[in-house]
């Protein structure tokens, strides 16, 4: 009986230990991810290529961080609209009212994404001097237009 109780206690102790180890590992991974997100490595080129001051970079980082959820939402909406369009186009053998509506919805979502992305780019450019802003827009506008026209949602995540 004592041997069974000892085995039970050891099993409970092992389970509790495994739980705490897994939990601390998960928290460390989440903390590492947050640090990576907060550091916004996608903005490194902005600081380096355009030679931004610390103040300009801080403001651009704030604008970028504020735009991230908007971008993620737009990318999700584009993906959903594309999936619906693809499903309807594959299922139909002709133009149906549902397919026509899906085409129009898909186009509206792309246009809205393009508008929001361009607004974000112009807002960011407004933080820069004229030379920096011209270089920034020259680099970024093709990405915004490409994302809207081709459905390249990865461009939504560049700044």
- Answer for the pair 76, 70: CB distance below 8 angstroms, yes or no: no
Report the alpha-carbon distance of residue 114 to residue 135 in Å, rounded. 19
**What is residue 127's predicted lDDT score, i.e. its pLDDT?**
94
Per-residue pLDDT of the chain (159 residues; tens, 9 = 90+): 666 555 655 557 566 666 667 666 665 544 543 443 345 677 888 888 899 999 999 999 999 999 999 999 999 999 999 999 999 999 878 899 999 999 999 999 999 999 999 999 999 999 999 999 999 999 999 988 875 444 444 444 444
Residue-level pLDDT at 55: 93
Indicate the pTM of the whole model: 0.65
pLDDT at 110: 92
Quote the tokens at residue 149: 């026209």
pLDDT for res 143: 87
The confidence score (pLDDT) of residue 153 equals: 46
> Rounded to a whole number, what is the distance in angstroms from the first to the last CA of the chain?
67
């Amino acid at each position: 009986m004592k041997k069974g109780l000892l085995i039970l206690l050891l099993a409970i102790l092992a389970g509790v230990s495994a739980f705490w180890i897994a939990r601390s590992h998960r928290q460390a991974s989440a903390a590492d991810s947050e640090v990576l997100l907060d550091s916004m490595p996608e903005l490194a080129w902005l600081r380096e290529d355009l030679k931004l001051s610390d103040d300009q970079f801080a403001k651009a980082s704030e604008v970028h961080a504020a735009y991230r959820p908007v971008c993620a939402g737009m990318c999700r909406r584009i993906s959903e609209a594309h999936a619906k369009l693809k499903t309807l186009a594959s299922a139909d053998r002709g133009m149906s009212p549902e397919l026509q509506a899906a085409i129009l919805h898909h186009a509206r979502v792309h246009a809205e994404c393009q508008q929001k992305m361009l607004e974000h780019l112009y807002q960011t450019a407004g933080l820069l001097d004229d030379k920096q802003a011209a270089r920034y827009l020259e680099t970024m506008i093709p990405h915004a237009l490409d994302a809207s026209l081709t459905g390249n949602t990865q461009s939504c995540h560049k700044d």
